[in-house]
Amino acid sequence: MSIANVRLLAGLLALPSILFQRNFLAVIIQCLYVIVVAVSYSRRFKLLPNLILLFSVSLAHLLQPNGLLLFSIGKFPITLGALTLGAHKAFTLISLLYLSHYMVTARPKFPGLLGQLISLQFYFFEQIREVWQSIKVKRPLIGAIDEMLLKISLESAKVAEHSSPRASPKELLFNAFHVVALWTLFFLGYYSILPILN
């Protein structure tokens, strides 16, 4: 099996363990785990967008009071359960996001005609980027876009073949480990072996 397919498969196998996680602490650990894996395969991690997501989703859930009243702002209650519910959803989303990042690190290919079309799309994408950078005068905008589109010839389209190398035993082992680790966290949460925070 190619590296691309191994990572794809590992990601798909691990996905339900995050999606169906009910334990708040466990999902946080899963999230950190997936981020570390994605980053170790040279995916970039930016803290701020994730923090904004975490805060906004948690804040949104405060509208529906749920659980212990921590304090009130005016008449507006800040409840623990609502905060953790929102944060849980945000952590799930972030986990899936970085799992997905990891799954495409080895550039998987779609099979058949659709796969060819996507390759073609990326070929033109590179062309557009190159031609657009070569155009000096970008005003008026429509003129510049015209110039770019007219320069790109449909006939010259060639799809660069790239094939993902076969996965080494080490690669297989690492991927299997990630899947087992994420499912272990799922069961630690499922049987409430990890403490329930809310």
Partner 1 sequence: MTPIRVGDIIIFLLAVALIIGSFSFYSTISGKPEVRVKSGAGESIYDLSVDTQATFKGPVGETTIEIRGGQVHVSESDCRNKVCISAGWISSPGEWIICLPNNVFVRIEGSLEEGSPDDTSF
Partner 2 sequence: MTPRSKPRIEFVALLAACALFLSTIEYLIPKPLPFMRLGLANLPLIIALGLLSWKEYLLLALLKVLGQALISGTIFSYIFLFSLAGTTASILIMLLLYNVLKKRVSLIGISIAGAMASNIAQLLLSRYLLFGEAAKLVAPPFLIVGLVTSIILGVFAQQFIAKSRWYKGVQ
Looking at residues 25 to 84 of the shown chain, list those that interact with partner 2 (rule: CB under 8 A). 43, 49, 52-53, 56-57, 59-61, 63-64
Tell me which of 20, 45, 76, 122 binds partner 2, using CB under 8 A.
122
Tell me which of 120, 173, 180, 197 binds partner 2, using CB under 8 A.
120
Which residue, 188, 161, 186, is CA-closest to 16? 186
> What minimum distance in Å lies between the beta carbon of 78 and partner 1?
10
Which of these ranges, 29-37, 61-69, 128-136, 156-164, lies near partner 1 under the rule CB under 8 A?
A: 61-69
Cβ–Cβ contacts within 10 Å for residue 72, how many? 10
Q: Which two tokens stand for residue 32?
A: 């950190």
Nearest 5°: the CA angle 69, 93, 64 is 25
Q: Among all chains, which residue has been given the structure tokens 């510049």? A: 144
- Give the integer Cα–Cα distance in Å for 134 and 124: 15
Is 137 a binding residue for partner 2 by CB under 8 A? The answer is no
Residue ranges in contact with partner 1 by CB under 8 A = 63-69, 75, 77, 79, 81
